[in-house]
Amino acid sequence: MRRALLISIPYLWLLVLFLIPFVIVFKISLSDAAIARPPYLPTLELSEGWASIKEFFAELDFENYTFLGEDPLYRLAYLSSLKIAVVSTVLTLLVGYPIAYGMARAAPEWRPTLLMLIILPFWTSFLIRVYAWKGILSTEGLLNQLLMGIGLVDAPLTILNTNTAVYIGIAYTYLPFMVLPIYSALEKMDDSLLEAAEDLGCSRLQAFWMVTMPLSRAGIFAGSFLVFIPALGEFVIPSLLGGSDTLMIGKVLYEEFFSNRDWPVASAVAVILLLILIVPIVLFQLNQQKQQEAGK
Amino acid sequence: MAQTVFAPWEDSQEKPLIEFVNVTKRFGDFTAIDNLSQKIYAREFFALLGPSGCGKTTMMRMLAGFETPSEGKILLAGQDIGAVPPNKRAVNMMFQSYALFPHLSVWDNIAFGLKREGMAKDKIAARVDEMLRLTRLEKFARRKPHQISGGQRQRVALARSLAKAPKLLLLDEPLGALDKKLRQETQFELMDIQESTGTTFVIVTHDQEEAMTVASRVAVMDHGRIVQVATPDVIYEAPNSVYVADFIGDVNLISGKASTRKAAPASQSKPAPQPAKPAEPTSPSPSDERRPQPNAMGEWLHDRVLEPVLGKRDPNTPAPIVEQVTAAEPQPVSAPPEIPAGGLAITWSPDHPPLIASNASETFGGADVVLALRPEKLNISTTKPDAPNVLRGKVIDIAYLGNISTYHVQLDNGTMVKAQIANTRRVSRRQITWEDEVWLSFTTTAGVVLEQGT
Ligand SMILES: Nc1ncnc2c1ncn2[C@@H]1O[C@H](COP(=O)(O)OP(=O)(O)OP(=O)(O)O)[C@@H](O)[C@H]1O
Ligand SMILES: [Mg+2]
């Protein structure tokens, strides 16, 4: 009995905080927008009996999904989001891997300090940090001053309000999610494996590709998914750093919801986003599972 | 030992494959290898033996190229290999920790080095299969290292290091995790490989029996230094220090003060009367009856045999001399005549007669020495035997080891001594048991006399 109760807690948690909200959102996505409160129809009136419930279900349809399919704006937004998420993830990986590698190879007494430095930015407000990037990337910003100061460029670069700024913002924000899993994979690696590889004829570089890389693959996967999944639906970073042409599904969703007050379409957008994310989420889970089995 | 025929180290013309020249390796202020010089020859099976932390692995790692000497240099075929990276050395190492690649199957682990060589696919497959067969791993080829047992992992590591058939193979405790039978088989397998490929092996082992079985020479190490290098039989039979004697095999160490046997030079100077001695004991006994006065026989005995020991007899004071003669007489009776003259007498306990060692250099005379006695060189009996060295004691414990038994005997002065006897009889018919008074005896060449504190 006690056991059952204990096991039921996480399920209850999932039910209340995930499944029920999802069902509500899904239901809204099947409704029609209306000038009402809440701004959609139909609403379920349980007090009016069976007939009204039947009527309620009859009024639900997939109209909004057809609409999303017909309007190229949404398709473009999804594709553009995917692209931005992929590019930022790759960028994060390129920056994060060397950092994780350096940390794992640092003297053991330095590692906790380095770890803390990676996590430290999380203790300040996310919004303020993204605003700070505005100051760095703007035309008169620190970056341009620096580049002009050392004579690398003659005219200031336009970085702010472009996709580049969004990539930088995402890579910056999600960097710890990439660094930590890779670091933990690399740290576990036995140095004698590299020596064995060298002993068997590998150069240092070959040993890295043949041993270090494969052994940190699980960490790379985990980190990439941890960056990719939230990046796909990212809203704050593209709205603050991106330009008017930066099309991301998070922004579209926001506009549908707050500017258009079209809750049903916004919900449909959210449901499809979730469906898209199921693929990487399942892959991520498989990766974690495999890693756990190998660790045994 | 059959290997004694192969002895390149005795040939001054022979060029060593490996030469350590005054190599010192420090980690911080800790000296792991201390000014070590050593030559290892091609086709040798060189075993490194020593307690944990004495620097065996460090020596291996310097040979493989993972550590560079702090001082001195290492020559491989006459060339200083200090600057040669590990992947460019014709040396393979089997790691003490195995260092198997966890992401690769057993098969791919073994093939790893061959693939780096750019060997043809079918040749690699053939070679890997051969290695798998050799190490009895055929069934596990597809498994990952974490899916096999510790002993199997060890064999994979061995197979992987053997696969490239290197000129020099470094094995760091290659067989520690194997059961005795498989270990012995693999030892013979290694010796076969060594004979058929001519590979030079340097092997670290904690198992002395293993070192004795496989090695052409054994080096005993202590604190970063090689204390003795010799063939296994010499290491065992003629250790050069107490440390080596104690480290290799079981040993009884008896410390005492050595003296060159005073009688020795004299009796040596006249070796001819020596054989005449056996006849003498019969003649002194009648002289006992007429003790106050030496008769003609007694006088003859004195003049011919005892005079060199006791000095000239003063004819005016016959009695004390007679007493001296009688006091001296038991010596030829109790100490049998087969004691070779010379050697050392080791005084070690007031309760026991001095121990006689005839195989020691007389330069030990007057020095503090240790007599190292292997338990199997001691004889044990219930009656006092007729032997040059006899010690009386009591059996405290008997360790039955199957083919042999070790008797722990407490001597009259409290010292514990181990004696080992082959169990040629069944246990039930064993005649010596706990608490029995026994006599331990050994010949004058059974022990090895070593300087104390070595
Ligand atoms: N990288 C290192 N840094 C500091 N000290 C080291 C290092 N490697 C080895 N040592 C020290 O050098 C000494 C010799 O080590 P080594 O590994 O050669 O011992 P070993 O003879 O192989 O011992 P074992 O039989 O336990 O394997 C040890 O005291 C060890 O602590
Ligand atoms: Mg070692």
Which domains are assigned to chain A? 65-295 (1.10.3720.10)
Sheet strand arrangement including B45-49: B91-94, B168-172, B200-204, B45-49, B217-222, B225-230
Report the pLDDT value the prediction gives residue B120, as an integer from 0 to 100: 94
Judged by DSSP in three states, B243 sits in: helix
Report the pLDDT value the prediction gives residue A65, as an integer from 0 to 100: 92
| Interface probe with A: pick from B96, B97, B114, B171, most Cβ of A within 10 Å | B97
Tell the burial category of B417 from Cβ atoms under 10 Å away from its Cβ (0-12, 13-18, 19+). buried
Report the pLDDT value the prediction gives residue B342, as an integer from 0 to 100: 72
Ligand 1 pocket (Cβ < 6 Å) reads B 27, 30, 32, 50, 52-58, 96
Residue B264 reports pLDDT greater than 70 = no
Nearby residues of A192 by Cβ (< 8 Å), 6 or more positions away: B95, B97, B99
Question: Torsions phi, psi of B13, nearest 5?
Answer: -80, -25
Least distant ligand from the CA of B53 = 1
Report the pLDDT value the prediction gives residue B36, as an integer from 0 to 100: 94
On whether residue B299 sits in a domain, the answer given is no
Question: Torsions phi, psi of B368, nearest 5?
Answer: -80, 125
Distance of CA B109 to the CA centre of its chain: 38
pLDDT digits 0-9 by tens, A11-64: 899 889 989 999 999 999 998 888 888 888 888 777 777 888 888 888 888 889
Write out the two tokens for B89: 């050395």
pLDDT digits 0-9 by tens, B431-447: 788 888 999 999 988 88
Contact B442, B254 (CB under 8 A): no
- CA atoms of B194 and A108, how far apart (whole Å): 41
Per-residue pLDDT, averaged over B26-41, amounts to: 94
On whether residue B142 sits in a domain, the answer given is yes
Is the CB of A201 less than 8 angstroms away from the CB of B164? yes
On whether residue B274 sits in a domain, the answer given is no
pLDDT digits 0-9 by tens, B107-135: 999 999 999 998 999 999 999 999 999 88
On whether residue B363 sits in a domain, the answer given is yes
Residue B56 reports pLDDT greater than 90 = yes
Q: Among all residues of chain B, which has the CA nearest to that of A188? A: B102
For A190, the closest of B65, B99, B103 (CB atoms) is B99
Q: Residue B329, CB half-sphere, CA atoms under 13 Å: how many?
A: 20
The single residue listed with the structure tokens 């009895």 is B136
Report the pLDDT value the prediction gives residue B311, as an integer from 0 to 100: 52
Report the pLDDT value the prediction gives residue A244, as an integer from 0 to 100: 85
pLDDT band for position B206 (cuts 50, 70, 90): confident
Per-residue pLDDT, averaged over B88-112, amounts to: 94
Residues B372 and B234 in one domain: no
Helix or strand (DSSP H, E) at B393: strand B389-400
pLDDT band for position B17 (cuts 50, 70, 90): very high
pLDDT band for position A296 (cuts 50, 70, 90): low
Indicate which CATH number applies to the domain containing B439.
2.40.50.140
pLDDT digits 0-9 by tens, B128-167: 999 999 888 999 999 999 999 988 998 999 999 999 989 8
Residue after which a domain boundary falls, among B194, B229, B250: B250
Q: Residue A158, CB half-sphere, CA atoms under 13 Å: how many?
A: 5
Residues on chain A touching B113 (C-beta within 8 angstroms): 199-201
pLDDT digits 0-9 by tens, B338-352: 566 678 888 888 888
Contact A219, A100 (CB under 8 A): yes
Residues B31 and B83 in one domain: yes
Tell the burial category of A12 from Cβ atoms under 10 Å away from its Cβ (0-12, 13-18, 19+). exposed
Which residue's alpha carbon is nearest to atom 8 within ligand 1? B58
Residues B82 and B193 in one domain: yes
Is the CB of A199 less than 8 angstroms away from the CB of B117? no
Indicate which CATH number applies to the domain containing B119.
3.40.50.300
Contact B132, B110 (CB under 8 A): yes
Q: How many other CB atoms are there within 10 angstroms of residue A295's CB atom?
A: 10
Which residue's alpha carbon is nearest to atom 16 within ligand 1? B55
On whether residue B315 sits in a domain, the answer given is no
**Among B205, B191, B114, residue whose Cα is nearest residue B160:** B114
Q: Measured at the alpha carbon of residue A95, what is the angle toward residues A286 and A124, in degrees to the nearest 5?
A: 90
- CA atoms of B106 and B127, how far apart (whole Å): 14
CA of B55 to the centre of ligand 2 (A): 7
Compute the Cα dihedral for B248, B251, B256, B258 and give only its sign.
Answer: negative
Closest ligand 1 atom to residue B61 Cα is: 18
Residue B287 reports pLDDT greater than 70 = no
Any alpha helices (H) in chain A, and if so which ranges? 2-14, 20-29, 49-59, 63-70, 72-105, 111-119, 126-137, 142-149, 163-188, 191-199, 204-207, 213-232, 236-241, 249-254, 263-295
Residues B413 and B437 in one domain: yes
Region for residue A62 given its phi and psi (left: phi exceeds 0; alpha: psi -120 to 50; beta: otherwise): alpha
**Amino acid, single-letter form, for residue B449:** V
Report the pLDDT value the prediction gives residue A86, as an integer from 0 to 100: 96
Per-residue pLDDT, averaged over A199-226, amounts to: 93
Residues B388 and B356 in one domain: yes
Q: What is the percent of chain B where pLDDT is above 90? A: 46
Residues B119 and B42 in one domain: yes
Largest CA distance in chain B: 104
The DSSP secondary structure of A132-176, one letter per residue, reads: HHHHHHSTTSHHHHHHHHTTS-SS----TTSHHHHHHHHHHHHHH
Residues B102 and B231 in one domain: yes
Q: How many other CB atoms are there within 10 angstroms of residue B403's CB atom?
A: 8
DSSP A60: -
- CA atoms of B64 and B85, how far apart (whole Å): 9
Residue B305 reports pLDDT greater than 60 = no
List residues, by chain if needed, whose CB lies under 5 Å from ion ligand 2: B 57, 96
Residues in chain B: 454
Q: What is the percent of chain A where pLDDT is above 90? A: 61
On whether residue B270 sits in a domain, the answer given is no
Residues B242 and B377 in one domain: no
CA distances from residue B354 to A152, B188, B274, B335 in whole angstroms, order as listed: 94, 45, 21, 12
Q: How many other CB atoms are there within 10 angstroms of residue A50's CB atom?
A: 8
Residue A241 reports pLDDT greater than 60 = yes
Residue B319 reports pLDDT greater than 50 = no
On whether residue B28 sits in a domain, the answer given is yes
Closest ligand 1 atom to residue B30 Cα is: 5
Q: What is the percent of chain B where pLDDT is above 70? A: 80
Judged by DSSP in three states, B7 sits in: coil
Least distant ligand from the CA of B48 = 1
Write out the two tokens for B256: 């005492």
Residues B177 and B258 in one domain: no
pLDDT band for position B307 (cuts 50, 70, 90): low
Per-residue pLDDT, averaged over A254-274, amounts to: 91
The DSSP secondary structure of B104-140, one letter per residue, reads: S-HHHHHHHHHHHTT--HHHHHHHHHHHHHHTT-GGG
Residues B203 and B95 in one domain: yes
Is the CB of A215 less than 8 angstroms away from the CB of B102? yes
Largest CA distance in chain A: 80
Report the pLDDT value the prediction gives residue A243, as an integer from 0 to 100: 87
Mean pLDDT of chain A: 90
Distance of CA B257 to the CA centre of its chain: 23
pLDDT band for position B273 (cuts 50, 70, 90): very low
On whether residue B46 sits in a domain, the answer given is yes
Compute the Cα dihedral for A242, A248, A254, A259 and give only its sign.
Answer: positive
Per-residue pLDDT, averaged over B241-260, amounts to: 90
Report the pLDDT value the prediction gives residue B299, as an integer from 0 to 100: 59
Q: In this complex, is the C-beta atom of B6 within 8 Å of any C-beta atom belonging to chain A?
A: no
Region for residue B221 given its phi and psi (left: phi exceeds 0; alpha: psi -120 to 50; beta: otherwise): beta
Q: How many other CB atoms are there within 10 angstroms of residue B68's CB atom?
A: 14
Judged by DSSP in three states, B337 sits in: coil
The single residue listed with the structure tokens 């330069």 is B363
* Helices then strands, each counted (H, E), chain B: 15, 20
CA of B237 to the centre of ligand 1 (A): 29
Residues B222 and B83 in one domain: yes
Residue after which a domain boundary falls, among B187, B221, B250: B250
- CA atoms of A62 and A43, how far apart (whole Å): 16
Report the pLDDT value the prediction gives residue A47, as an integer from 0 to 100: 79
Residues B259 and B222 in one domain: no
Report the pLDDT value the prediction gives residue A56, as an integer from 0 to 100: 83
Report the pLDDT value the prediction gives residue B278, as an integer from 0 to 100: 39
pLDDT digits 0-9 by tens, A139-185: 888 999 999 999 888 888 899 999 999 999 999 999 999 999 999 99
Per-residue pLDDT, averaged over A127-137, amounts to: 93
Q: In this complex, is the C-beta atom of B103 within 8 Å of any C-beta atom belonging to chain A?
A: yes
Looking at the 3D structure of chain B, how many domains does it have? Answer: 2
- What is the C-alpha R_g of chain B? 30
CA of B239 to the centre of ligand 1 (A): 25
Residue after which a domain boundary falls, among B199, B226, B250: B250
Helix or strand (DSSP H, E) at B212: helix B208-214
Residues on chain B touching A197 (C-beta within 8 angstroms): 101, 112
Residue B274 reports pLDDT greater than 70 = no
Mean pLDDT of chain B: 82
Contact A249, A269 (CB under 8 A): yes
Report the pLDDT value the prediction gives residue B263, as an integer from 0 to 100: 53
Domain containing B368 equals: 254-263+339-451
Question: Torsions phi, psi of B32, nearest 5?
Answer: -90, -35
Task: Select the more confidently predicted residue: B284 or A7.
Answer: A7
